[in-house]
Chains A and B, each alone.
Chain A
Amino acid sequence: MTIQHDSSPKINEYAHPEVLVSTEWLEQNLGTEGLVVVESDEDVLLYEIGHIPSAVKIDWHTDLNQAVMRDYLEGPEFADLMKRSGISRDTTVVLYGDASNWWAAYALWVFKLFGHADVRLLDGGRDKWIAEERAFTKDKPVIVESEYPVIQRDDKTDRAYRDQVLEHIGKPMVDVRSEPEYTGERTHMPNYPQEGALRAGHIPGANSVPWARAANEDKSFKSRAELEAIYEGEKGLKADDDIIAYCRIGERSSHTWFVLKYLLGFTKVRNYDGSWTEWGSLVGVPIVRGSEPGTLTH
């Protein structure tokens, strides 16, 4: 059974209103059968100090990634994770998290690699829920283990690999990192020195649109008209363009991937999760420094 969408005016304007819910909607729908709320944070202990009632935790670092190789779970492990989280193939999953929903958007992207149909983001995430003083608890939810099929991960539709990025140069690309990372002043985000790369700059032809431009002060997404003004008006992207988004490890670009694909309805958007930690350390790939996108030069 599909749980009704949030039909509030702001959300209804987006191209795919079925993938976003407001804090009001979630509060009203908590406890509905077939709904599982999932918290996914950057800080791995935040869930323990309080979470939305009934929410389960899925940690990006320990749950969604493989422990040794740099890659995401395979089908059998994803099915196990879903089962122990009480999620079935037809469950409506609402994801939320800290840091403007970066990690929640990242988790949503991984859910989509496995083709989970009904997965939504909570607009504004953890911070907005807390700011509005909605119910919060430390109680661990009672999880009824579910059934979940083993699904082969789809690495083609929403994911781009480095060789594809190399071939893609010349077509639209969005670099969502901060300005100094894009121009090559820095190899890493301020305060994230461990996730640096050997070289600084950006992939030739990539446009700079820092992810935060898509978000309001309260961490919710900007309205559709505001988003169109940035990505279509200012950057000239079109709904049927073939677009790749990247950042440093793929989490901030999941946020932008979500905006382009679901809020604006662009038809072909992929996230390059190798992102700058891979590209900026690869031998022999082209890099551009400075504030212009630049082109490929041989």
Chain B
Amino acid sequence: MSSVETALNELGGEFAELGVKDRLQLLLEISQELPDLPDRYSDHPDLLERVEECQSPVYLFVEVNSGVVSIFLTAPEEAPTTRGFASILHQLLNGHSVEEVLSAPEDIPDRLHLSEAVSLLRINGMRGMLNRIKRQVREKA
């Protein structure tokens, strides 16, 4: 099992153990852990790709250096759910190899046990982020 898969199973397990309200609380905590963009991107929003699947303005950029993937994601504070999903993807995928990111499960959003707590359209936004991350990795690898 890949390390991404292991981390996904752990996080999915954490959510599954909680009641619906506590799952949201955990998602909120994770949303607050999304790092700020480094200056080279916050000063150049034109470099970032808009995630059209999200209603709120979510932008991302992927760097590949010596086969290692760095992910930069930004989502507004007033869209905490979307920010939570962005932060989950960041935690699961950032710093992993090209192969690991490209082979990350397509159904990450479905394995977090959040569909009872969050409406489907938000989860679809996360799917959009994941697809766009993988596409950028393929282009840059």
Query: A residues within 8 Å of B by Cβ?
Result: 42-46, 48-49, 61-62, 67, 191-195
Contacts and interface: CB of A to CB of B under 8 A. Distances in A.
The number of chain B residues touching the other chain, given as a range, is 20 to 34
Interface string B46-80: 00000011110000000000000000000001111
A45 B120 contact: no
B124 A44 contact: no
Contacts of A193: 53, 121, 124
A192 B121 contact: yes
Contact of A49 (B54, B80, B120, B124): B80
Nearest to B115: A61
A177 to B, nearest CB: 15
B116 interface: yes
Interface in B85-135: 116-125
Contact of B53 (A46, A48, A49, A191): A191
B3 interface: no
Given A43-B80, A45-B81, A49-B28, 8 more contacts: A45-B28, A46-B78, A48-B24, A48-B28, A192-B121, A194-B120, A194-B123, A194-B124
Contacts of B28: 45, 48-49
A97 to B, nearest CB: 13
A45 B121 contact: no
A193 B123 CA distance: 11
Contacts of A194: 120-121, 123-124
